[in-house]
Structure 1
């Protein structure tokens, strides 16, 4: 029903997106550095549930809504591009901060950690785009069971996203300590992050559906 090529394709896309800094990575890294790995992993649980919301939505055929009402898709792209552009500016502006720079955050409850992780994931334009635009390109209607194909391919993204975000959570403290002791590396990381986010924002805004 789902061929290896489809799985490898969506896995490659998901890997490329999870490795490019975005809202999920920034939130999870910041939370892990400020409140510890346990808080980061709880937040990751919320992020994972946000992924599953999109899996269910795509499986239920919500992509058809964007096809019937193109303006909604355009609004999603523009909103996502503006948000990523704002994140890029936060990293590149004078006095901007690296995602791995230690910062003070309130020590939130388990419920709030999970909820913030969930909202960060659901409102993440990168995730919205991969499910609403990219994932359907890997579905082959002639194979039948489009909903099942969407479900299986979506779960591939969830596995990739949770695995690598989990690695970010577990290593955030070590990476932060390494960069803190090397200010030049911290600046380089900040500029690279901001540039990647800026490029992604521009591509999201100008690329056709």
Structure 2
């Protein structure tokens, strides 16, 4: 058995915490669900890929010790926190405007949306990469899941396992909420759902803007 697998007993607690964090409601999951049920499976899947890419960015940064550098230069964290909060509030504003429109003026479930694949990916990526708390979550995962003398192979393993699991969860959300049943339910309650998303994004954005990291 390769030596790297000897670190698995250290990784399990961190892995379980990571799964709970990824599967629980948050801006990332709401963005995937919103894209899937309002714009179709393609939009949900590409948004999921963008969010996963943002998570991978923070995972690599945490593994390289960028968190320690950001703690030294606190202004960088403050800038990222403000950008993340403002972006969430911007999404809240878009959801609010959509909630005010009648169904006849909204293209629900149309796979040919106005958003290109690049725009959808960047939207998902921006949600995750502008949240500085994500890097501390990854830092905690790596710190909890590995001893200080862990080799690079062990770091790659824990990042690979966590990223594969999160991508599977995000894709599952996109597939589940792009079904015809989900689409019919969304059409019936679209304005209430969009209104709830606007409230959620506003609360998340304000919490990020006013929180201390």
TM-score normalised according to structure 1 size: 0.71
Structure showing greater Rg: 2
**RMSD across aligned positions (CA):** 3.7
Task: Give the total of aligned pairs.
Answer: 198
Cα distance, 1:153 vs. partner?
5.1
Cα distance, 1:89 vs. partner?
2.5
Q: Is 1:131 matched up with 2:139?
A: no
- Contact 2:85–2:209 under 8 Å retained in 1: yes
Q: 1:38 to 1:22 in 2, by over 3 A?
A: closer
- Contact 1:55–1:155 under 8 Å retained in 2: no
Q: 1:186 to 1:38 in 2, by over 3 A?
A: closer
> 2:12 — aligned with what?
4
Query: Whole-Å Cα distance in 2 between the matches of residues 199 and 22 of structure 1?
Result: 13
Q: 1:39 to 1:23 in 2, by over 3 A?
A: closer
What is the correspondence of 1:32-51 to structure 2 with a 5 Å cutoff? 33=40, 37=41, 40-41=44-45, 44-51=48-55
Query: Whole-Å Cα distance in 2 between the matches of residues 97 and 58 of structure 1?
Result: 45
Query: Whole-Å Cα distance in 2 between the matches of residues 128 and 62 of structure 1?
Result: 14
> 2:184 — aligned with what?
177
TM-score normalised according to structure 2 size: 0.70
Q: 1:162 to 1:191 in 2, by over 3 A?
A: same
Cα distance, 1:97 vs. partner?
8.4
Query: Which 5+ residue runs of structure 2 have no aligned equivalent?
Result: 1-6
Query: Which 5+ residue runs of structure 1 have no aligned equivalent?
Result: none
